[in-house]
Amino acid sequence: MKVLLTGGTGFIGKAVLSRLDRKHEISIFGRTKPEPKYEFVKGDLRNLEAVSRATNNIEAIIHLGAVLVDKDPVETMEINTMGTFNLLEAAVKNNVKRFVFASSIQAIGDAVYLPINEDHPCKPKNIYGLSKLMGEELCSFYSRLYNLSTISLRIGGVLDWKDLSKKPGDWPEILWSCVDVRDVTHGIDLSLDVEVTKNEILFITAADQFSAESIPILVKKHFPRVKISKDFLSRERASFFDISKARKVLGYQPKYDYHTYIELQKKGIAHE
C-alpha cells in the first residue's frame, strides 16, 4: 500500500516507519528531511497545494504531524486544524482510501464518569486538545459527506519504556494514562487494514494506569464527585480510558504495561 506519513521525523513517526516500512511503500511529508532511505516530499501542512501534490497516487494517509505545545495558539490551530482540513480535502480530491488521524486523550477534558469511553463529553482544557477534537470532527464530516474511510485514534501520553529513567509519576492532567510507543504503532498498523464505514474514534492507551497508587486511592483523592463504575473500582490498575472499543474494532491488544515493566526493571529484565 502507498502510504503518506506526516510527522515522520517525530518520536511516534520514527517508530511507525520502523514497524511499517517493510509492509508498505511509505513517503514522508513535512518540513524536516528524514533519513535518506525514505521518499520525502517537502512542504507545509498549511499549504493546500503542496498537500494535494503529496497525496497524489496515495492509498492511505497516517496523519501524525502536529504542534504539541501551546506556545503559540494561532500556530497550533493553523497547523493542527487547518493542516488536517487540507489533508482531508486532498484525500478526497485524490481518492485516498484510508485516513488515520492521531488524536489525543486531551480532547476529553475533565472526567464526568469513569472509566472514560468514546461517548464521554468532550470539553478540552487547552488549545492542543481543542485542535485534536476539531480534527476528529473534520474526519467525521469528510467520512459522512464523501465516504472517506477515517479512523481517529485518541492516543495517551506516549513513552518509550525502554528508557529506564521513566518512573511512575503524579500526572492527573492525563489521568495517568500512558502507552508504549510500540503499542501506538500496533494500533496505527491495524488501522490501515480494518474495514470501517464511518469515522471510528478509539482510545489507544496501555491496559493499566501508571500511577504508583491504586484506582480506589486515586478516585478518592481526585474524583470524589465523579460517577464511578463498580467494576472500575474493583480493578486496581485499570486504565482510566476504556479501550474495549479499540479491542473490538481493531483487534488492538496492548502488549506493554507500566507496572509489569517496573517489576521487570527491578529484576533487571528487559521489557521487550
- Annotated catalytic residues are 128
Q: Are 177 and 241 in contact (CB under 8 A)?
A: yes
User: Who's near 261: CB < 8 A, 6+ residues apart?
Assistant: 161, 271
Query: CA-to-CA distance for 209 and 235, rounded, in angstroms?
Result: 11
DSSP string over 94-145: TT--EEEEEEEGGGTBS-SEESB-TTS--B-SSHHHHHHHHHHHHHHHHHHH
Measured in degrees and rounded to the nearest 5, phi and psi for residue 79 equal: -75, -50
Q: Are 45 and 66 in contact (CB under 8 A)?
A: no
Half-sphere exposure of 74 (CA within 13 A, CB side): 0
